[in-house]
């Protein structure tokens, strides 16, 4: 059992932070790696990239948006409750290197995944410009943390309620125009990552993306998480989760992410009905 020691709600309660006791994972985890969590006996195995790890406290932190039954079950766990299973650390760690000027772009809960990578990018000596965005001001997460993790933070909202009025890609273009950008790291919804890579291709700037496809075991055994990268099939769980964004087939990834859409909807609605009745 993996006890929750801290719980926070963000983005008007749509995004949840759980800090979980998992000393073995915390000891090993590196930026970019993920865990698989399962709430209870009949629960689904859900992969989530870690937002934070604390070796000394022996905890890991996950930040997720409530989108279906499984994440709703996670949301309903209180401090002191436990996840039945947490497995990790899984996947490859981010390749960190001093390159010079780096842009870290995050959207939605992708910002949470981006945070430890941004900080690590800064720690190895890069000059880090960070761009984060959300639909509206109240849905923005981790602004303060991202400010500390980077040299220069730019914030965007789609509706203009805060920071730059527009998409992260607009601001990224401006920074790219300034020149000398050696690498871009983009983590967020698939359409955002696709848009980012389309632009960085034009500027010929290497771009790393972190993918979160559907998976079961997370150890290379099921192949459910296969993604096409440069025409080759890769398993996101063991070959990733980070890939060269210029080579990823995002359209295929989007279709594959929708594989169980109907089932997920049905399952979630049923859960909400029962929960609301109680």
Partner 1 sequence: MAEKSAKPVKNPRIAMPEQDPQVRARNFLEVPTGYTNKMAQEEAARCLQCKKPACVNGCPVGVDIPGFIDLISKGDITAAIRNLWSKNALPAVCGRVCPQEIQCEGLCILGKKGEPVAIGNLERYCADWERENGTGELPPKAASTGKKVAVVGSGPSGLTVAGDLIVKGHDVTIFEAFHKAGGVLVYGIPEFRLPKAIVAQEINFLERLGCKLECNAVVGRTVSVDELFEQGFDAVYIGVGAGLPRFMNIPGENLVGILSANEYLTRANLMKAYKFPDVDTPIPIGKNVVVLGAGNVAMDAARTAMRLGAESVKIVYRRSREEMPARAAEIHHAEEEGIDMFLLTNPTKYLGNEKGRLTGMVCLQMELGEPDDSGRRRPVPIEGSEFEMDCDLCIVAVGSGANPLLTSETPDMKLNKWGYVHTDEKTGKTTKKAVWAGGDIVTGAATVILAMGAGREAANSMHDYLNLGW
Instruction: Determine if 260 is a binding residue for partner 1 (CB under 8 A).
Output: yes
Instruction: Determine if 263 is a binding residue for partner 1 (CB under 8 A).
Output: yes
Instruction: Determine if 25 is a binding residue for partner 1 (CB under 8 A).
Output: yes
State the minimum distance, in angstroms, from the CB of residue 170 to partner 1: 30
Lay out the sheet containing 46-49: strands in order across. 46-49, 34-38, 85-90
Segments in 140-260 forming alpha helices (H)? 143-149, 168-178, 190-203, 236-239, 250-257
3-state class of 246 per DSSP? Answer: coil
161 versus 219: smaller Cβ distance to partner 1: 219
**Which two three-digit tokens encode residue 252?**
């295929």
5 versus 72: smaller Cβ distance to partner 1: 72
Report whether 115 contacts 195 (CB < 8 A). Answer: no
State the minimum distance, in angstroms, from the CB of residue 123 to partner 1: 23
Find all residues with CB under 8 Å of 255, minimum gap 6, and list them: none
- Of the candidates 173, 206, 219, 246, which one interacts with partner 1 according to CB under 8 A? 219
138 versus 232: smaller Cβ distance to partner 1: 232
Instruction: Determine if 275 is a binding residue for partner 1 (CB under 8 A).
Output: no
| Interatomic CA distance for residues 129 and 147, integer angstroms | 10
> Would you tell me which residues interact with partner 1 (CB under 8 A)?
24-25, 28, 38, 42-45, 69-70, 73, 84-90, 216-217, 219-224, 226-228, 233, 238, 252, 255-256, 258-260, 263-264, 266-267, 270
């Amino acid at each position: 059992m993996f006890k929750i020691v801290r719980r926070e709600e963000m983005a008007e309660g749509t995004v949840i932070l759980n800090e979980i006791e998992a000393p073995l994972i915390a000891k090993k985890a590196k930026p970019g790696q993920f865990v698989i969590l399962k709430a209870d006996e009949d629960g689904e195995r859900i992969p989530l990239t870690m937002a934070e790890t604390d070796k000394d406290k022996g905890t890991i932190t996950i930040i997720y948006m409530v989108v279906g039954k499984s994440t709703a079950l996670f949301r309903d766990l209180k401090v002191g409750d436990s996840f039945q299973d947490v497995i990790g650390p899984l996947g490859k760690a981010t390749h960190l290197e001093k390159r010079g000027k780096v842009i870290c772009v995050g959207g939605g809960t992708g910002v949470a995944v981006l945070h430890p990578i941004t900080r690590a990018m800064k720690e190895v000596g890069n000059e880090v410009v960070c761009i984060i965005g959300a639909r509206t001001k109240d849905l923005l997460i981790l602004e303060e943390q991202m400010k500390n993790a980077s040299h220069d933070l730019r914030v965007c909202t789609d509706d203009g309620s805060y920071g730059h009025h527009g998409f992260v890609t607009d601001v990224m273009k401006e920074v790219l125009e300034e020149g000398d950008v050696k690498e871009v790291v983009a983590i967020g919804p698939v359409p955002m990552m696709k848009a980012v890579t389309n632009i960085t291709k034009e500027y010929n700037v290497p771009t790393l993306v972190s993918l979160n496809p559907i998976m079961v075991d997370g150890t290379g055994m099921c192949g459910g998480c296969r993604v096409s990268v440069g025409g080759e099939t890769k398993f996101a769980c063991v070959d990733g989760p980070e890939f060269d964004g210029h080579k990823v087939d995002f359209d295929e990834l989007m279709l594959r992410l929708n594989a169980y859409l109907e089932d997920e909807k049905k399952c979630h609605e049923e859960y909400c009905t029962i929960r609301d009745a109680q």
